[in-house]
């Protein structure tokens, strides 16, 4: 079943761009929740736009902050590898 999911074009795109896909999904969820919770508040159109832009930016910041841990894991694996041997030659 998992191999069938990998053949769907949006899933393939999301696997190639995981951070951007996470940002889109999180931003969509945040905007939907914002619309549900603030629908009876009586906001002006410009206020709606400002809140939605802010929600999208916050979603991007969340994904960026979460990605810091991915970078730490990459650095940890790099530091455990042995350095390549030196190719410098000494003069006698």
Domain total in the chain: 1
Global pTM reads 0.70
- Lookup: tokens for 1: 């079943």
- DSSP letter, residue 7: T
* Residues 22, 11: Cα–Cα separation, whole Å: 12
What does the pLDDT look like over 11-42, one tens digit per residue? 888 889 999 999 999 999 999 999 999 999 99
Q: Which domain holds residue 53?
A: 44-68
On the question of pLDDT at 80 being above 80, the answer is no
Residue 34 maps to a domain: no
Q: If residue 58 lies in a helix (H) or strand (E), which one and from where to where?
A: helix 45-80
**Residue 17 DSSP label:** -
């Amino acid at each position: 079943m998992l191999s069938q999911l990998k053949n769907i074009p949006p899933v393939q795109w999301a696997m190639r761009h995981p951070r951007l896909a996470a940002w889109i999904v999180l931003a969509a969820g945040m905007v939907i929740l914002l619309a549900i919770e603030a629908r009876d508040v009586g906001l002006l159109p410009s206020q709606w736009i400002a809140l939605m832009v802010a929600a999208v930016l916050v979603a991007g910041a969340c994904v960026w902050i979460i990605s810091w841990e991915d970078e730490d894991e990459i650095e940890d694996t790099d530091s455990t590898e042995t350095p390549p041997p030196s190719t410098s030659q000494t003069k006698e």
